[in-house]
Amino acid sequence: MTTLLISQHSSNPLEAVSSDPRNVRYRRVLREARARQVAAEEDPSPSSEDQISGYAPKDDMHAYWGHLAQVTPVISKVKQRYGRKAAEVTMNLNNNIVDLDDDMDSDDPLVLKDEPMGFDDEEDHDAEEVSVDEESDDEQEEQENDGRDSHIEDSDEEFTILSKSEEDRQMILDEIRDLEAAVPELEESYRLVDRLGTGTFSSVYKAVDLFYDKWDNRPWQCPHPPGSSAHPQSVAREPGSKIFVAIKRIYVTSSPERIKNEISVLEDCRGCRHVSQLITAFREKDQVVAIMPYQRNDDFRDFFCSLTIEGIKAYFRCLMRALRDIHSRQIIHRDVKPANFLFDSRTGMGTLCDFGLASRMNTTVPGPCLHLPASPSHPHGRLRARNEYDSEHIKKMQREARAKNHWPSDRVGYPQNDTRPNSKANRAGTRGFRAPEVLLKCGNQSGAIDVWSAGSILLFVLTKKFPLFQSNDDVEALMEIAAIIGSKHMEKVATLHNRTFSTNVPSVTATGMTWREFCEKQNPEIYTPPSPKPDFYPHADTPTSEEEHHQDLDNAFDLLEKLLHPEAVHRITPRDALYHPFLAQSVGDDEFFPHPFGKGVCAHLHRIDDVTEQPSVLIETEKGQTMKLLENGQGLAIGNQPCEFHQDFVFL
């Protein structure tokens, strides 16, 4: 706790006391913030904790509601209740909120590294794409780290390209020119300054948003309350400051279906916390570009070994919140991995990006598996009732499969030219991060696959090794998991997904080992408390006590075991993970959960328009109640609070 108190805001640029002329701007902001605060008759001597109310919510929120009142005729009385409530929450939470300190330029790069695979369709190109181009990855990550150690100001961010080699610079400039030629519209609103990364289906560029103030940014900024870790996103940017965006150029060779899927998924993810938000998108003939906020980030390899326990918690809180929010919208990311989770180790802020492989959950048609599809009450599905399947047949097949383990290997075979159809399960994702159900080609996958991937990230952090799984194909990946969890667990998982698993490989023992053993073996020094790292979030310089460290690790291992539960139906849901002792905070996550559209306290006033399929809300005007069509992201009800349109409604 002490570490928290001491450290929270030391990276806060507002506090930086320095003769460095660069800080002039920061100091100006600080002065302004103080002035505002005094005007608001808040605490006259502002501490760093109050900076939140200093530069953000009240005035902006009020302005927002004022604007809403104008636009939507009679939400006449804009209640200030929300604002007051928010302030209370802030006061109460000061000690608990870990990732509030956000830079003035609170953006991080949105990087697409490898997007290795496609969907499993008729083509087998998917299988070929499994091999992730690690090399190009490395190089690119290198490029992104330039200037990591210094506080980067707007101007520095603008000229990151200068730190690259002549050759690269020329190539990037060529690419930028090419993109500007392909989508002339871009030049009107953005000035491209650098490339952030490239992938299989797209490349991402950094650009300055020339007319940030001209547009209505609220739908994607979303009114996350000050207590929420996603609040920095909602804070309006300083007028006059340079706003950076990430421009994702989706290659024209991508199928229209894939592009449509990504854009629609991103639209549906508006309002999700710690998820890269779609600002807008352009299309010029076959070229599609998506505009997202730019976010600064560090290479996972640079911090995963030195991350303190508090840093690990910050990382996984952000990740779990992102997963919770997207899964509640029936969206599976499918490609959760460090390269797709942009984490700023200085601020402890993370953002899930790259929804190129994301898919929607099948919640209706149960497959042949022994589990049911995801449902609101069971987000990872649940086991079928005993009378719903032919247990006799299953037992018989299990017995046969197990018997094979002991047969001489030249007696075990499989059909040569199999005429039976192949499994059509979606296996998009990255090797080393695929959950057992993906490897077993379960046709009814749920958000549990993202949770598994998150669990493997926790493995890296705890073993201090990355990467851990090096398989080249799905069979090998399955065997790697089997070598750890043991054949008994593997058989059970196989049965759950209507498969039989048999092997005589000696390294696959019956019982395997726990994930905890797996980590302890590889990282025997894990129990010695690490020396504090002032460079990284939470910038602590006091070491944690041994007992505290032990307790944290116990919790971490317990969570690890639950995240990497081989049976999807028993794997912990992101929501429960946020309430797990390792990640739990004094104010529950439900308080800040942005409900999917049409859920939450004012759900009965929300509707999807029958004709346009746009979200709409019931509002009161002078003429009585009317429906108002909304943009995606508007009408967001958070926690037990109503959405911005129903502030003055009374909910019991």
Q: Answer yes or no: are the C-beta atoms of 255 and 263 closer than 8 Å.
A: no
How near is the Cβ of 194 to other proteins at its closest, in Å? 16
Q: Cis (ω within 30 of 0) for the bond into 538? A: yes
Structure tokens at 343: 């984490």
Q: How far is the CB of 259 from other proteins (least distance, A)?
A: 10
Q: Characterize the bridge pairing of strands 287-293 and 280-284.
A: antiparallel
| Residue 465 or 599 having the CB closest to other proteins | 465
Select from 41, 421, 613, 623 the one that contacts other proteins (CB under 8 A): 421
Give the nearer residue to other proteins in terms of CB position, either 240 or 506: 506
- Candidates 4, 68, 91, 397; binder of other proteins (CB under 8 A) is 397
Q: CA-to-CA distance for 322 and 317, rounded, in angstroms?
A: 9
Name the minimum Å distance from CB 320 to other proteins: 25
The answer to the question of residue 475 lying near other proteins (CB under 8 A) is: yes
Q: Give min distance, CB of 423 to other proteins, in A.
A: 5
Nearer of residues 377 and 419 to other proteins, judged by Cβ: 419
Q: Which one among 66, 184, 368, 581 touches other proteins, defined by CB under 8 A?
A: 368
Burial 226-243 (b: 16+ CB within 10 A, else e): bbbbbbbbbbbbbeeebb
- State which residue, 85 or 404, has the beta carbon closest to other proteins: 404
Name residues contacting other proteins, limited to 312-341 (CB under 8 A): none
Residue 587 is a binding residue for other proteins (CB under 8 A): no
Stretch 196-255 residues interacting with other proteins (CB under 8 A): 251-255
Of 83, 85, 97, nearest to 40 (Cα)? Answer: 83
d(CA 499, CA 400) in angstroms, rounded, equals: 12
State the minimum distance, in angstroms, from the CB of residue 100 to other proteins. 32
Measure the CA–CA gap between 625 and 73, rounded to whole angstroms: 11
Piece of 80-88, 421-429, 446-454, 539-547 that binds other proteins (CB under 8 A): 421-429
CA distance 553 to 550: 5
Q: Determine phi and psi for 394, rounding to 5 degrees.
A: -65, -45
Q: Does 524 bind other proteins (CB under 8 A)?
A: yes
Site for other proteins in 56-95 (CB under 8 A): none
- CA R_g for the chain: 25
Residues in the chain: 652
Give yes or no for a contact between 600 and 643, defined as CB atoms under 8 angstroms apart.
yes
- Of 198 and 351, which CB lies nearer to other proteins in the complex structure? 198
Residues 20, 88, 123, 609: which binds other proteins (CB under 8 A)? 123
Q: Where are the alpha helices (DSSP H) in 183-228?
A: 185-189, 218-221
Strands 243-250 and 287-293: antiparallel
49 contacts 6 by C-beta, under 8 angstroms: no
Task: Establish if 149 lies at the interface with other proteins (CB under 8 A).
Answer: no
* Residue list 277-306, contact with other proteins (CB under 8 A): 285-286
Work out which of 44, 239, 240, 413 binds other proteins, going by CB under 8 A. 413
- Among 335, 354, 552, 589, the one annotated catalytic: 335
Site string for other proteins, 256-275 (x = CB under 8 A): x-x-----------------
* Piece of the chain touching other proteins by CB under 8 A; list 229-237, 466-474, 557-565, 588-596: 466-474
Is 470 an interacting residue with respect to other proteins (CB under 8 A)? yes
Q: How many residues belong to the site for other proteins (CB under 8 A)?
A: 81
By beta-carbon proximity to other proteins, the closer residue of 400 and 546 is: 400
Q: Give me 462's structure tokens.
A: 């705890």
Q: Are the C-beta atoms of residues 18 and 9 closer than 8 Å to each other?
A: no
Asked if 547 is part of the footprint of other proteins (rule: CB under 8 A), the reply reads no
Q: Name every residue whose Cβ is closer than 8 Å to that of residue 41 and which is 6 or more positions away in sequence.
A: none
Asked if 528 is part of the footprint of other proteins (rule: CB under 8 A), the reply reads: no
Which C-beta is closer to other proteins: that of 362 or that of 509? 509
Q: Which is nearer to other proteins, 213 or 257 (CB)?
A: 257
Catalytic residue list contains 335 = yes
Candidates 351, 340, 305, 271; CA nearest to 99 is 351
Contacts of 36 (CB under 8 A, 6+ apart): 54, 55, 59
Contact call for residue 167 and other proteins (CB under 8 A): yes
Q: Is 2 in the site for other proteins (CB under 8 A)?
A: no
536: contact with other proteins by CB under 8 A: no
Instruction: Determine, following the binding rule CB under 8 A, whether residue 135 of this chain makes contact with other proteins.
Output: yes
CA angle 286/288/289 to nearest 5° reads: 155
Q: Does 476 bind other proteins (CB under 8 A)?
A: yes
SS3 620: strand
Give 474 or 591: the residue with its C-beta nearer to other proteins. Answer: 474
Out of 441, 489, 562, 646, the only residue in the binding site for other proteins (CB under 8 A) is 441
**394 binds other proteins per the rule CB under 8 A:** yes
* C-alpha span between 29 and 308 (Å, rounded): 31
Q: Which amino acid is at 387?
A: N
Does residue 164 belong to the site contacting other proteins (CB under 8 A)? Answer: yes
C-alpha pair distances (Å), 585 with each of 87, 349, 473: 18, 16, 39
Helices 474-485, 487-496: axis angle to 10 degrees equals 130
Report the half-sphere exposure of 3 (CA within 13 A, side-chain side): 21
For 282, phi then psi, to 5°, come to: -120, 150
Instruction: Establish how many alpha carbons lie within 13 A of residue 575's alpha carbon, considering only the half-sphere containing its beta carbon.
Output: 15
Nearer to other proteins, 234 or 503 (CB): 503
Interface with other proteins (CB under 8 A), residue from 479, 568, 583, 619: 479
Min dist CB 106 to other proteins, Å, is: 28
Note whether 458 binds other proteins by CB under 8 A: no
Binding to other proteins (CB under 8 A): which residues in 490-509?
A: 494-495, 498-507
Contacts of 211 (CB under 8 A, 6+ apart): 189
Active site residues: 335
